Amino acid sequence: MDQTLSVTELNLYIKNLLESQPMLAHISVRGELSNYKIYPSGHHYFTLKDSESSIRCVMFKSSADKLRFRPEDGMGVTVYGRVSVYPRDGAYQLYCAHIMPEGIGDLQVAFRQLKEKLEAEGLFDESHKKPLPRFPGKIAIVTSSAGAAVHDMIRILGKRWPMAKILLLPVRVQGTEAPAEIAGAIRYANEFDVADLIITGRGGGSIEDLWAFNDERVARAIYVSRIPVISAVGHEPDVTISDYVADRRASTPSNAAEIAVPDCREIADLLDAFDLRSSQAMRKRITALWDRLDFCSTRRVITAPTAAFDLRRLEVDRMRERMSAAGEKQVSRCRQQFVALTSAMEAMSPLLVLTRGYAIASSEEGECVRSVAQLQKGDRLSLRLCDGTAQCLVEDTKRS
Amino acid sequence: MAGKKQTLSFEESLGRLEEIVRHLEKGDLPLNDTLKLYEEGTGLIASCSKMLDEAEQKVVKLKKGPDRSPIESDFEDENSHDA
């Protein structure tokens, strides 16, 4: 104890002591994050603790920028780094190179965090999803021009619906440049309105390989796309943020091609069905019209158009008969009347009396002689008998 | 009339066909109109079938031109380069 040190000397001594320990130079420590702060400098400061102890930690900007998730207070983590002393405060602390969330990987945490954030913003809302065109004329494919995915899609699209023109927008689908390229291609397709459907995706791979499709920039580009987007990333169980945002999710790129277009054979069948239905409807219509025509053409007015006249003629004849019969009856009645009248008249006639031997005497002047007082000797009389007249000379008159 | 048909997209043609078939099946139009519809329908079926039969897939690669507007290039050529 014969050496007196300055504070700085002591702290440096301890620092050197600690740093000479190989175990402390590369250490991993498990604990819970608390009091996590990101300073404007970009350095991260936090405390790592368990139920009994805690240690101050720092993560410099260069390391912190590589974090793929956002550390949160209370998160169980394993921290990798070295232990050293901050001489100014005389405090030892953990200098972090990397933080891994406990249990699950950092990417899973990042995925969950972005998913929650975008979900809260409404990027996954069903109401925002656009319907896909039934018969897309142009399909933009945003993926790598190498690799099986693009060829699978082109092959299936060609087989199902060769009418659609395929526009490939080649992008890198993994690596740090990938998200910006994918998002850029989607925005570009919209800017120049190159297609009426976009398929973006890639074949399967590790979570790192698919990571570009979990990028916020890609998610936002899909969200604002006016052109409907089908997301087709990896294999069936992999679901990416792009899948959640896209208007339609396909389990694989091949599946995206199947969703994107109808099968021309089904459409050909549909056309056949239309053909059949319209000719059936037409035949039915024509048959119905024939039936109506037949119904009309078998009516008697058409088959025997004079029948109605015959009937009328019959009626007329009957009328005529009735009329003439009535006329004749009238005439004979008149005749009878006439005969009766004439016989009655005849009965009254003076001439009839003459037949019984009477005669009518009339003077030369034609006057009827009713009395001898009208006569003198020498008068000439005309005696009318029933069958002629006789001229007489009056010889004498004598009143009886 | 053929010119008018050509301006219809495949989707529009199919939509019109559906409409025509419905009308024909309803049978509520005068015969003359029905015949006209039937004629239009068979024409549409023929043109749609022709489109389906004669369709040939076109695949192009899009690149940004000097003024940023898209330029099409042949995809298969590029592809054989890659291979």
- Both ends of chain A: CA-CA distance in Å? 231
Task: Assess whether A37 and A63 both reside in one domain.
Answer: yes
What confidence tens digit (pLDDT) does each residue in A117-164 have? 999 999 999 999 999 999 999 999 999 998 889 999 999 999 999 999
* Partners of A82 in the β-ladder: A95
pLDDT of B27: 80
Domain assignment present for residue A109? The answer is no
Does the predicted TM-score (pTM) go above 0.95? no
pLDDT given for residue B78 in this prediction: 47
Are residues A290 and A195 part of one domain?
no
Please tell me whether residues A220 and A290 are part of one structural domain.
no
Give the domain CATH number at A258.
3.40.50.960
Co-location of A217 and A289 in the same domain: no
- Residue A317: inside a domain, yes or no? yes
How many structural domains is chain A composed of? 4
Nearest to B24 among A164, A169, A281 (CB): A281
Q: Are residues A220 and A185 in the same domain?
A: yes
Report which of A379, A386, A345, A387 is spatially closest to residue A362, judged by C-alpha positions: A379
Q: Out of A203-212, A302-311, A346-355, B19-28, pick the least confident.
A: A346-355
Nearest CA in chain B to A159: B57
C-alpha to C-alpha distance for B40 and B52, rounded to whole angstroms: 18
Contacts of B14 in chain A (CB under 8 A): 135, 267, 270
A294: left (phi over 0), alpha (psi -120 to 50) or beta: alpha
Binary contact (B49, A268; C-beta < 8 A): yes
- Each residue of A321-337: pLDDT tens digit? 999 999 899 999 999 99
Average pLDDT rounded to a whole number, residues A84-108: 87
For residue A373, what are its two tokens?
Answer: 């007082």
Q: Calculate the average pLDDT of chain A.
A: 90
Inter-residue contact B62 to A194 (CB < 8 Å): yes
The answer to whether residues A145 and A249 belong to one domain is yes
**Chain A neighbors of B21, CB-CB under 8 A:** 274, 277-278, 281
Cα gap A170→B82, rounded to integer Å: 12
pLDDT at A77 over 70: yes
Residue A345 in any domain: the answer is no
CATH number of the domain within which A94 lies:
2.40.50.140
CB A319 within 8 A of CB B75: no
Chain B contact residues (CB < 8 Å to A): 9-11, 14, 17-18, 20-21, 24-25, 27, 31, 34, 38, 41-42, 45, 48-49, 51-52, 55-62, 64, 69-70, 72, 75, 78-79, 82
- Residue A366 located in a structural domain: yes
Q: A81, A55 in Cβ contact below 8 A?
A: no
Q: How far apart are CA A68 and CA A99, in angstroms?
A: 10
A305 in the same domain as A256? no
pLDDT at residue B5 is higher than 70 = no
Residues A310, A361 within the same domain: no
pLDDT in tens, B28-53: 888 888 889 899 999 999 989 988 88
Tens of pLDDT, residue by residue over A236-275, are 677 899 999 999 999 999 999 999 999 999 999 999 999 9
Range of the domain at A247: 117-124+136-262
Residue A25 in domain: yes
Residue burial A179-210, b: 16+ Cβ < 10 Å; e: rest: bbbbbbbbebbbeeebbbbbbbbbbbeeeebb
- H helix or E strand, kind and range, residue B73: strand B70-74
Higher pLDDT, A142 or B6: A142
- Candidates A163, A278, A281; nearest CB to B55: A163
Cβ separation of B11 and A154 shorter than 8 Å? no
